[in-house]
Amino acid sequence: MNIKITGTGSYIPNVVEKNEDFHHHQFLNTDGSSINSDNEVIIEKFKAITGIGERRYVNESLCTSDIAFYAAQNAISDANINPEEIDYIIVAHNYGDVKHNAEQSDTVPSIASRVKHLLKIKNPKCVGYDMLFGCPGWIEGTIQANAFIKAGIAKKCLIIGAETLSRVIDKHDRDSMIYSDGAGAVILEATNDDGGILAHESATYTLDEAHYIFFGETNNQDISDKRRYIKMYGRKIYEFALSNVPAAMKSCLDQSGIDIKDIKKILIHQANEKMDEAIVQRFYKLYDMEMPEMIMPMTINKLGNSSVATVPTLYDLILRGELDGHEINKGDHILFASVGAGMNINAIVYKY
């Protein structure tokens, strides 16, 4: 028995927010003081570092649970299974359903329960729960589903990563330009086919790193409401990622027994183009190798950072032939990897 992804799906929102759409924003420092640069200069530097030229936002009528449902429908259809056969629905997210202009997140019932409701699954033994694990949540959900199937308590699992970060960004914070919305989903099941999950690795660093990504107040101190927004210490995260993610990827690969030369693609969380390139370069240096060309597909330039949705969306787009220059073929070995709030890191070596 092997445990494989048998179906993929994603939902990419229709609203395109381009970098030039931020020219009218009033960006401020964390203490509320003005930034001594024009927005054009700020945005040009932002593009050079992150690689982001545009991002996607959901329309006003949608929430995280809605787009999670859309991605799930696509994955179920792709796997050609009966939804009533699903044993677990695991939904990775971080902020729940935040309605347009709402000041509070809605997490009861869970997003997984809402998705199951929208899928009209009647089977009470189909268990739904949410995964709060920062940006690595979808990979961690897949690792848990793999364990359920290995233990014999599940045969088919639906794992979704969905987020609407546009609802929790501070428009006075330059970092607001990083974040986007989206959803990706897979069906994971036991099969007799060759391949599947070969190894996985997870780690949580909290001694000094727990609050590198957090919920904080707006940079605009003239605003009196107590709404809170996604915030981060970008430099600390960059240094943390470069110091720890390559080693976790190496540990995972070494456990798999696969030679690094046999890795065809690395699907890494789309957080920051420069950071991702540096992580993968350091990973290859651990094996005294240079990073191969075309090893790391990127979607961040068009889709931004949709947190838990980036990796499954990237995987779905490649399999559907929608990412120019990239393909995954039968027998290929790929490496999934992510880093994010917690601070959490994880990786999976997978044979397609």
pLDDT tens digits, one per residue of 313-335: 999 999 999 999 999 999 999 99
Whether residue 310 sits in one domain with residue 235: yes
Residue that is last in its domain, among 175, 193, 211: 193
Burial of 125 (0-12, 13-18, 19+ CB in 10 A): exposed
For residue 245, pLDDT beyond 90: yes
Residue that is last in its domain, among 193, 218, 253: 193
> Tell me, what's the pLDDT at 101?
82
> Tell me, what's the pLDDT at 103?
80
- Reported as half-sphere exposure (CB side, CA atoms, 13 A), residue 212 has a value of 23
Whether residue 220 sits in one domain with residue 138: no
Whether residue 205 sits in one domain with residue 58: no
Whether residue 237 sits in one domain with residue 94: no
Whether residue 128 sits in one domain with residue 78: yes
Tell me the two tokens of residue 283: 């990973």
Q: Which range, of 218-222, 224-228, 311-315, averages the lowest pLDDT? A: 224-228
3-state secondary structure at position 319 = helix
For residue 214, CA distances in Å to 123, 160, 304, 342 come to: 37, 23, 19, 9
pLDDT tens digits, one per residue of 89-114: 999 999 999 998 888 888 899 999 99
3-state secondary structure at position 34 = strand
Query: Mean of the pLDDT values across residues 39-47?
Result: 89
Query: Mean of the pLDDT values across residues 137-157?
Result: 97
pLDDT tens digits, one per residue of 225-243: 778 999 999 999 999 999 9
Whether residue 145 sits in one domain with residue 12: yes
For residue 178, CA distances in Å to 19, 165, 285, 299, 307 come to: 10, 10, 28, 13, 10
> Tell me, what's the pLDDT at 106?
87
Tell me the two tokens of residue 131: 């995964």
Whether residue 202 sits in one domain with residue 176: no
Whether residue 213 sits in one domain with residue 110: no
Cβ–Cβ < 8 Å for 224, 103? no
Tell me the C-alpha distance between 71 and 56, whole Å. Answer: 15
- pTM comes to 0.94
Whether residue 326 sits in one domain with residue 214: yes
Whether residue 182 sits in one domain with residue 47: yes
Cβ–Cβ < 8 Å for 181, 306? yes
CATH of the domain at 122: 3.40.47.10
Residue that is last in its domain, among 141, 167, 193: 193
Whether residue 165 sits in one domain with residue 310: no
For residue 342, CA distances in Å to 6, 239, 311 come to: 30, 15, 18
Question: Going along the chain, which residue ranges are E strands?
Answer: 2-11, 15-18, 54-57, 88-92, 127-131, 156-164, 181-191, 196-204, 213-216, 229-232, 263-268, 333-340, 344-351
Query: Mean of the pLDDT values across residues 170-175?
Result: 91
Average predicted confidence (pLDDT) for the chain: 95
pLDDT tens digits, one per residue of 69-90: 999 999 999 999 999 999 999 9
Whether residue 143 sits in one domain with residue 223: no
Neighbour tally for 188: CB within 10 Å: 29
Band (23; pLDDT cuts 50, 70, 90): confident
For residue 206, give its domain range.
198-351
> Tell me, what's the pLDDT at 38?
87
Query: Mean of the pLDDT values across residues 49-72?
Result: 96
Structural domains in the chain (count):
2
Residue percentage of the chain with pLDDT more than 90? 85
Query: Mean of the pLDDT values across residues 158-183?
Result: 95
> Tell me, what's the pLDDT at 331?
95
pLDDT tens digits, one per residue of 279-289: 999 999 999 99
